[in-house]
Chains A and B, each alone.
Chain A
Amino acid sequence: MSGLEHLRADFPVLQREIGGKPVHFLDSAASSQKPTSVLEAMDDFYRCCYANVHRGAYALSVESTERYEAARSRVASFINASDPTQVAFARGATSALNLIAHGWGGEHLRPGDRVLLTEMEHHANLVPWQMVAARTGARLDFVPLTDDYRLDLEALEQKLDDDVAVVGVTGMSNVLGTIPPIPRIAEAARTVGALLVVDGAQLVPHQPVDVQTLGADFLVFSAHKMLGPTGIGALWGRPERLEEMEPYEGGGEMIADVQLHTSTWAAIPHRFEAGTPPIAEAVGFAAAVDYLDKVGMDQVAAHDADLTAYALQLLAEIPHVTVYGPADVDARGGVISFTMADVHPHDLATILDQQGVSVRAGHHCAKPLMRRLCVPATARASFYVYNTRTDVDALVEALGVASRIFGVG
């Protein structure tokens, strides 16, 4: 037990009952629930000081701008960025990755260049690179996984040569839970002068992250997976990399000057924030990282590890359950993909739902990884600060129901 059991009371949705059963929410890898403090921060902001940001000469706009920029500083300090201008707000990790792929890759990739990704990337860190590769003549290459579901670092080092312009890797697999050693990958990428892009959508919500020691050039993450609202995420970049990147969207807020035929861009990071930004969402994002920092990211990681170890142990005792991911909790986060005999994951998810257990079933936006695992889909349980061992027990009991209905074992 990790001692965070009291946090569940902070999450209004988790106080509900559905079909007479408590909510055992095990789908935080898709999106997390929100604590009261985040809901209130956004509500208070709309009630007290909302107006559009930047260039407003009146008090409300000034206050709103201050709150928006304070949120940027807060998110920047959460990942220990040395300056808030290194953080651009985006719609989420997906749009941030698109910005990097199109804005940096589209500008700098040349025919013959290679973009080295991994077999376990979410579609968000694959499809944008496919689009940019098609446009620039760059080629995609992939680091395979080992049989124990880790990134094959030897293969990575073999594939790294001077043609590799970009290395793109997830900080934590949303399917396997695998956490690759980013600092080591960063060092290898640096030796060939490749840019390192880290998809932190799963990593940043669950592990302490310090961009000053991570070694990445870009790190992206989404607020909604870390107790914050939907519609906002962050892109952190080294200042020189941000300067090299072209804006992906043009419009208001992102310009310095506009003529009829040409424009010049605002300074970083505002040049990447065309249009009215998600202002209240930024305020909610800041409240979410406040909450996480108050708990302590080391505690968050330890809590995930406790639940993961407990769940892995119980799942291993259920006949015909196969778990896909590293067995060692030090090499993984709290995302557990599994299958049960010939019961299709969709059927599992339906049966579990009837027991009050919310899991995701499907390809988890990682179809190439599903092919690598030779399964059409998996069921996936994922944990966060508000989960308890009771949720894991409910999962195990519900799997017993599924096993009875399908006559497994």
Chain B
Amino acid sequence: MSLEELYREVILDHYRNPRHRKPLDRADAHAEGVNPLCGDEVTVELAVTDGRISDVAAIGQGCSISQSSASMMTDAILGKTVEEVRDLIQRFKAMMDIDHEADLGLDPDRPGAVLGDLEALQGVRRYPVRIKCANLPWTTLAQALDQLSAS
């Protein structure tokens, strides 16, 4: 596993040019995630229209893994229904789970592959201390979704 496989170009691109980093004018949900051990921070805001994510923001600071994961996440969930987003969170977390490699079929060309750019983060699994960086935005997103269902 070389460093180039960890720091893929797509990861560095999202780190340098994060998507959807502007706070929303009107957010239906707002959750803040922090990793107290390393200090990574991600704030997720969601706007929902007719059951779909109509706008999203992920703002934060931290390493390339946490921030690119947040940026790719915003691209991946925009336009999806809340149910689809929950499914995506599960798939992402499963991808990051070292023990679940076998049943995932992570070949991006396989039929039904949906993780897209996010699969670039697979390399993180080889660096166990960094997995929490990749997961932080998704855990925060799950908290934001919980707010939606609570309200």
Contacts and interface: CB of A to CB of B under 8 A. Distances in A.
Contacts of B24: none
B65 A347 contact: yes
A401 B61 CA distance: 23
Given A376-B61, A407-B12, A350 B6 contact: yes
Given A350-B127, A376-B61, A406 B7 contact: yes
Nearest to A348: B63
A219 interface: no
Given A344-B64, A347-B65, A354-B3, A377 B39 contact: yes
B7 A362 contact: no
Size class of the contact patch on chain A? 20 to 34
Contact of B37 (A343, A362, A407): A362
A312 interface: no
B52 to A, nearest CB: 33
Interface in A303-362: 342-347, 350-351, 354, 361-362
B12 A406 contact: yes
A32 B131 CA distance: 27
Contacts of B7: 347, 351, 405-406
Nearest to A354: B3
User: Chain B: interface residue count, which band?
Assistant: 20 to 34
Contacts, number: 47
A91 interface: no
Contacts of B133: 346
Interface in B112-151: 127, 130, 133
A399 to B, nearest CB: 13
Nearest to A345: B63
Given A351-B3, A376-B61, A405-B7, A346 B12 contact: no
Interface in B1-59: 3-4, 6-7, 12, 16, 37-41
Contacts of B38: 346, 361-362, 377
Contacts of A406: 7, 12, 64
Contact of B63 (A344, A354, A367, A370): A344
A401 B41 CA distance: 26
B62 A344 contact: yes
A363 interface: yes
Interface of B: 3-4, 6-7, 12, 16, 37-41, 61-65, 67, 127, 130, 133
What 5 A-B pairs are tightest by C-beta distance, nearest first?
A344-B63, A346-B63, A347-B64, A347-B63, A405-B7
